[in-house]
């Protein structure tokens, strides 16, 4: 275990998330003998296996499309000490100067402040829409179903297990804070209504897009990291396009750079990036 000598920094809720994008310095790599190359790749493979077998820790590895970067990692783990130790080890795993940072992003998994509460669901959906009466068997059953669904949902948001879908898209974003378009000066109900519209659009991509929104206020340059996984690049392009018409993104969205990667098994990944 890394960072054993230190006090863990484990959040009350959620995990730390690091997106780490590196360039491969092929000039440096070409100075290695075949044997040294083999040893370096074995070292990185071993480290990735160690990370993946650490409790509550996940590591996605992918090849970045375009020269923005070559090799991408997404690391999710509770303890910031462990995240930091693994991040440094990954950077050095192929030997000094072979991997060079191209971009990185630190965020944390979070529950949303706009998640429907029990009280809202009761008032708006069960009583309001469905005309159910509190205390009846049907009402209690519907409420139990809601509780189970929400517990499962919250678990996924805070402690996600991401699928091996090949296409991974990452970009950071913030909500605008200027003039009449200041998200943070809107009252809670207005924001909640706007977010409900956003979620409606999002849900039409169920099964095609897996989204993970991780918070980064105070941690990195933007306010959230957006990670989208898909099997088809079209679904990434479509959802981001469609969201642009949604008021939350149209009026309030500000975006950083976009990165597209392809998740691959390690041997294919090494070949792909020329190692
Ligand atoms: O929490 C949920 O999954 C359900 C409701 C929901 C919230 C609270 C939701 C649903 N999102 C939420 C929060 Mn989202 N999301 C984005 C982007 O490119 C763009 O224009 C925006 C980038 C996409 C593509 C996307 C997709 N979402 C957020 C937040 C935090 C806002 C805050 O707290 O103020 C951001 C920054 C954000 C951005 N969203 C969904 C999706 C999809 C696909 C869904 C449906 C998920 C599902 O129900 O399966």
Q: Report the nearest-CA residue for atom 28 of ligand 1.
A: 213
**Virtual torsion, Cα 227, 233, 236, 240, nearest 10 deg:** 130
Per-residue pLDDT of the chain (275 residues; tens, 9 = 90+): 555 679 999 999 999 999 999 999 999 999 999 999 999 999 999 999 999 999 999 999 999 999 999 999 999 999 999 999 999 999 999 999 999 999 999 999 999 999 989 999 999 999 999 999 999 999 999 999 999 999 999 999 999 999 999 999 999 999 999 999 999 999 999 999 999 999 999 999 999 999 999 999 999 999 999 999 999 999 999 999 999 999 999 999 999 999 999 999 999 999 999 99
* Marked catalytic residue, from 103, 105, 121, 171: 171
CB-defined site of ligand 1, < 6 Å: 112-114, 173, 175, 195, 198-199, 202-203, 205-206, 209, 211, 213, 224, 226, 228, 239-240, 243-244, 249, 253
Q: In angstroms, how far is CA 259 from the centroid of its own chain?
A: 13
Best residue among 14, 165, 211 to mutate for probing ligand 1's pocket (most ligand atoms within 8 Å of CB) is 211
Task: Please state the pTM of the whole predicted model.
Answer: 0.94
Per 3-state DSSP, what percentage of the chain is helix, strand, and coil (rounded to 5)? 40, 25, 35
Atom number in ligand 1 closest to CA 228? 24
CA distances from 94 to 46, 142, 251, 261 (A): 11, 54, 44, 20
Domains assigned to the chain: 16-109 (3.30.70.1030)
């Amino acid at each position: 275990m890394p960072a054993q000598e230190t006090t863990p920094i484990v959040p009350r809720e959620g995990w730390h998330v690091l997106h780490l994008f590196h360039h491969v310095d092929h000039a440096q790599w070409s100075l290695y003998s075949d044997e040294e190359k083999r040893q370096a790749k074995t070292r990185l493979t071993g480290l990735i296996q160690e990370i993946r077998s650490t409790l509550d820790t996940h590591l996605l590895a992918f090849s970045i499309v375009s020269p923005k970067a070559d090799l991408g990692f997404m690391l999710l783990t509770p303890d910031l000490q462990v995240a930091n130790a693994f991040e440094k080890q990954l950077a050095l795993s192929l030997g000094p100067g072979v991997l060079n940072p191209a971009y990185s992003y630190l965020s944390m998994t979070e529950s949303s402040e706009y998640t429907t509460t029990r009280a809202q669901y009761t008032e708006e959906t069960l009583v309001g829409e469905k005309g159910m009466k509190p205390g009846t068997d049907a009402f209690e059953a519907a409420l139990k179903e809601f509780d189970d669904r929400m517990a499962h949902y919250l678990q996924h948001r805070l402690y996600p297990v991401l699928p091996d879908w090949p296409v991974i898209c990452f970009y950071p974003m913030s909500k605008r804070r200027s003039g009449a378009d200041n998200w943070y000066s809107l009252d809670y109900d207005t924001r909640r209504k706007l977010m409900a519209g956003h979620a409606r659009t999002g849900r039409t991509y169920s099964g095609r897009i897996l989204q993970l929104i991780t918070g980064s206020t105070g941690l990195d340059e933007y306010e959230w990291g957006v990670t989208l996984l898909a099997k088809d690049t079209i679904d990434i392009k479509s959802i981001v396009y469609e969201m642009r018409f949604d008021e939350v993104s149209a009026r309030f969205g500000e975006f950083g750079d976009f990165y597209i990667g392809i998740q691959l098994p390690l041997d294919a990944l090494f070949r792909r990036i020329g190692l």
